[in-house]
Amino acid sequence: MLSNIRPVSAERPSPAGGVFEGAAGLTEARARVMLCGGFPLRDGRGWTFSEAGHREIARDYYRRSRGMIFEGSRFDQRSDYLFTNEIDYHSALSAISGRGGAYAGVGHMLSFTYPAWQGAADAYAVDANARVPFITIPLYGLMLAMAADRIDLISLLTGKLVPRSAKWRDLVDGPPWLLIENLIALPGNPSFAAAVKRELTETLVGAAPYLDAGSLEHEASGLVDRIRNSILRSNASFYSLFNPVALMKAKDSAGRGGPLTSEEQLRRERSLFIEGRITGVASPIQAAGLDAVMSRVSESGDRLGVMYLSNLEDWLFDDVEEDEEGRRDGAKAQRFAEGVAALYGRLRGFDYPEESLLVSAKGCYPTSVHGLVGYLGDSMPPDMPPADAGRSARLVYRLRREAARAGREPIRQRLKFLEGHLAKRPDLAEIPAALRRGWRGSPYGQKEACRALLDRSGYFRGLTDWERSSVIRILIGMGVVKGAGE
């Protein structure tokens, strides 16, 4: 599939492509799309798309993304995360909101939702599955651009013409399950569904002349069908038990969430694509694609605001653990250990502002990239053997993961969680000792560890001074932080 694409080497510079100047430089066609969308009109011959601005937007996306295909990316994996398998992604939005800077992350919907809340100047959709940045992202972006409001978007997603009535406006604002039930019961409109599908696939094919037209049309057409089926059969995908509509309506206690939570949020997300602020990058995020992203961010005079890893760490570390338990072939496990080392080694290769965040899937709770890189310190020097680096990185990650779980508990429960759960977990007993001695015999000082764990990570935001001192005492008792007399 799409076999004529060849990745560029790590040494080959990526062309800047057709970088769009943003809202201030909107062309007339894009301005019309921004204002009116690109929804089809019905006439005597069927459905027509009189507004062609969305085609210009798609062409610009593919121009920007053309030079961003790197070793390690693959075009032979299906793209079935419709549109995310992170059911609690919204729990990170309070920390992300308004942070600014550039965004780099993996996945489909969150490549729009996270940078929209962040207020990102530019967003880079990075994925080892090349179908994500080169098929799913532009196809979903087109649907957003063509939808003037949420009713339009739901119609485009499902291929059903949703009535523009008070009843359906109330359903869009109401509970997800009720909206889904009514969408399933809504009579279909085959001519509308066929027209939308044809326009989406033909727009992608025409916008990307460097991709194999037949393969791209086949894959885009199949993706449209899977999106419709996943919503109307109430079955998200093999990887998720949640309907995409429910995921797109998920929100936190402050009302922050995905594109179906409000008209304002839909406008935020569609503007990213219309203004040309999203670029696709086909690369494992721990590989050379991240170098290209950070280079572009630097050249633009911007800074990294948010990096989203999804479940990459879980996936890599689970395989390291399987190797240690004798459940995986040694040679294969070695490759995963090298992947772990590459991930953290790549992260350590850049300078980050102190306010930049790294968001992981386990609890979707953010930590400071700057703090994490500093916290690794001597625990994973560049010359460490990959297997040792993998074990060292996993220990740090497991502590981050447990702290994230504690951070999501109400403040009243956090100290109890740390005292009653973390300290008694046998499988965590190795972590304090490993962190205390380091892998090169360099212990972590109290100031350094407290800064990484409390000041920058966000795990314990909102603690009173008394609660903060209690947390520090617990961490000293665990050996994560050095005591005053040490």
How many Cα atoms sit within 13 Å of 260 on the Cβ side? 27
What is the C-alpha to C-alpha distance for residues 406 and 363, in angstroms, rounded to an integer? 10
Per-residue pLDDT of the chain (486 residues; tens, 9 = 90+): 454 443 333 332 332 333 333 444 678 888 888 888 889 888 767 888 876 789 999 999 999 999 899 888 887 776 566 678 787 888 889 889 999 999 999 888 999 999 999 999 999 999 989 999 999 999 999 999 999 999 999 999 999 999 999 999 999 999 888 999 899 999 999 999 999 999 999 999 999 999 999 999 999 999 999 999 888 875 444 444 578 898 899 888 899 999 999 999 999 999 999 999 999 999 988 788 888 999 999 998 899 999 998 877 777 766 444 444 444 555 655 666 666 667 777 777 777 777 888 888 765 567 777 766 765 555 566 677 766 666 666 656 666 665 555 555 544 444 454 444 445 544 444 444 444 444 333 344 556 555 545 554 444 455 555 555 555 665 565 555 566 555
- How high is the pLDDT of residue 177? 85
Give, in order, the Cα–Cα distances in Å from 323 to each of 76, 249, 276, 337, 434: 27, 39, 44, 9, 19
Q: Which helix or strand (DSSP H or E) is residue 255 part of?
A: none
Cα separation of 174 and 170, whole Å?
A: 6
**DSSP helix/strand/coil, 461:** coil
| Strands across the sheet containing 278-282 | 278-282, 123-127, 102-105, 304-310, 357-360, 366-368
Please give the DSSP secondary-structure letter assigned to residue 258.
S
Q: Can you spell out the DSSP letters for 281-345? A: EES-TTSHHHHHHHHHHHHTT--EEEEEEETHHHHHHHHHHHHHTT-S-HHHHHHHHHHHHHHHH
- The answer to whether residues 38 and 200 touch, using CB atoms and an 8 Å cutoff, is no
Element (H, E) at 116: helix 110-118
- CA dist 287 and 232 (Å) reads 37
- C-alpha distances (whole Å) from 174 to each of 90, 151, 181 are 18, 13, 12
* pTM of the complete model beyond 0.85: no
Q: What is the pLDDT of residue 470?
A: 54
C-alpha pair distances (Å), 88 with each of 258, 287, 363, 434: 11, 27, 7, 31
**Per-residue confidence (pLDDT) for residue 273, from 0 to 100:** 95
**What is the chain's length?**
486
Instruction: Determine the Cα–Cα distance for residues 124 and 342; give it in Å rounded to an integer.
Output: 20
Gyration radius (Cα) of the chain, Å = 23
Helix (H, G, I), strand (E, B), or coil: what is residue 18?
A: coil
Burial (CB count <10 Å: 0-12, 13-18, 19+), residue 258: buried
Q: Which of 383, 407, 380 is nearest to 396 (CA)?
A: 380
Separation of alpha carbons 108 and 89, rounded Å: 12
Confidence at residue 309, expressed as pLDDT on a 0 to 100 scale? 86
